[in-house]
Structure 1
Amino acid sequence: MFSSRKQDPFFISLQKIAENMREAIHYANNAKFESISDLKEISIKMKQYETYGDNLIHELIVMLNKSFMTPIEREDILALANRLDDVLDGAEHCIAHFEMFSFTELDESMRTFLEYITKSADEIVAAIELLNKKNLINMRKHIILIKDYERECDEVSRSSIKQLFLKEKDPIRLIKFRDIYDQLEDIADYCQDVANTLETIIMRNA
């Protein structure tokens, strides 16, 4: 366990990366997908979040390269940053497909996916805030919730795809819906990857 009470710049950097990711996920979840112009605006905004996230990761890598001492293994810091980036990249990529498909038909399954992913993003930030405070043990409850939400997304994926193949007769629409479902499930999986990385950090440092 860490002994210093001072906030570490590496943990502060990770928290900024996580908060930018969460803000992007909340934006996507709250956005109105009602017109082609909406899709374009949402896609541009998500790209801005993704670009800012890349800049934050670059700053962290520069700091890692310049620092002799790190609060935890530098490989764990970089792994956590990259897993957070995967969540944001996945969300940006998914929204880009909405825009490419001119897809303004968010169904109940997609909304449910987004709600669970948003909850996962909140839990990720809460866990990293505890990491910043060097309170590793209490991070576990947030990790458990992230994994619970990923399992819920698995169920949504199975049921939505089943219903899709039962009801949808248009092959083009079927392809579009299936693509979006798969990408949303991927984002939930990326959130679980963050949780797994946080578990590794706890195991090595608690």
Structure 2
Amino acid sequence: MLNSKKQDPFFVALHKIAENMQEAVHYANDFRINSVADLKEISITMKNYETAGDKLIHELIVMLNKSFMTPIEREDILEFAIRMDDILDGTEHCIAHFEMFSLTEVDESMRTFLGYISQSADEIVKATEELKKKNMVGMRPHAILIKDYERKCDEVQRVSIKQLFINEKDPIRIIKYKDIYEQLEDIADHCQNVANTMETIIMRNA
């Protein structure tokens, strides 16, 4: 039986990983790109977030290796952490492609994608707050919302790619924009994977 009064260091560590991911995603969403120089700035900052995330994951793995007892299955703890890190890695990778393409035009579809991804990140942090309180069932409403945001991103991808092929005549721009749309959809899928991991934890422990 989990002691609900004392915070568990593993749940605290997962919450820190979630907060770093959330901050990175919101930074990407809030940043306004006006020039190639801006692309360099955002790319460097996102790489710093990714590096910080890798450090947090490493610290968690060290904790897992040193601990005989864990509050839930150690595989679930590590899976949760890695799935959150996938969101951060995917966002950093997407921003790197903006710089690689020298793409300074962020269209409405991209903003919509990033908005839903940011909202998903917020729900993940809220879920880890429930986990810190050892309220497993309290994570479920957040998992449901994340999956809803992913479904909305599916629709954004379908519409944006359809409109891209209708309206854009430059094949190079089609390649660039389609690549970014697909990467943003991948990030939304990573968010859904986090929600699935939450539901696995609930199923095994609630």
State the TM bucket, normalised to the shorter chain.
over 0.9
Deviations 1:139-184 (A, max 9, x none): 1111110000000000000000000011111000000000000000
Tell me the equivalent position of 1:180: 180
Give the distance between the partners of 1:3 and 1:16, measured in 2 at CA.
21
After TM superposition, the score normalised by the length of structure 2 is 0.99
How far the C-alpha of 1:3 sits from its partner, in A, is: 3.4
Give the distance between the partners of 1:133 and 1:39, measured in 2 at CA.
39
Tell me the equivalent position of 1:131: 131
Give the distance between the partners of 1:194 and 1:158, measured in 2 at CA.
23
After TM superposition, the score normalised by the length of structure 1 is 0.99
Q: Following superposition, which runs of at least 4 residues in structure 1 exceed 3 angstroms of deviation?
A: none
Give the distance between the partners of 2:179 and 2:4, measured in 1 at CA.
47
Deviations 1:51-98 (A, max 9, x none): 000000000000100000000000000000000000000000000000
Deviations 1:5-51 (A, max 9, x none): 20000000000000000000000000011100100000000000000
Give the distance between the partners of 1:43 and 1:89, measured in 2 at CA.
12
Tell me the equivalent position of 1:103: 103
Gaps of at least 5 residues in structure 2 are: none
Tell me the equivalent position of 2:160: 160
Task: Give the aligned residue type for 1:152.
Answer: K
Give the distance between the partners of 1:58 and 1:44, measured in 2 at CA.
21
1:13 aligns with 2:39: no
Tell me the equivalent position of 1:84: 84
Gaps of at least 5 residues in structure 1 are: none
SS of the residue aligned with 1:6? coil
Give the distance between the partners of 2:74 and 2:138, measured in 1 at CA.
22
Number of paired residues? 206
Give the distance between the partners of 2:3 and 2:30, measured in 1 at CA.
40
Tell me the equivalent position of 1:50: 50
Deviations 1:97-116 (A, max 9, x none): 00110001111100000000
How far the C-alpha of 1:138 sits from its partner, in A, is: 1.7
SS of the residue aligned with 1:148? helix
Identity %: 75
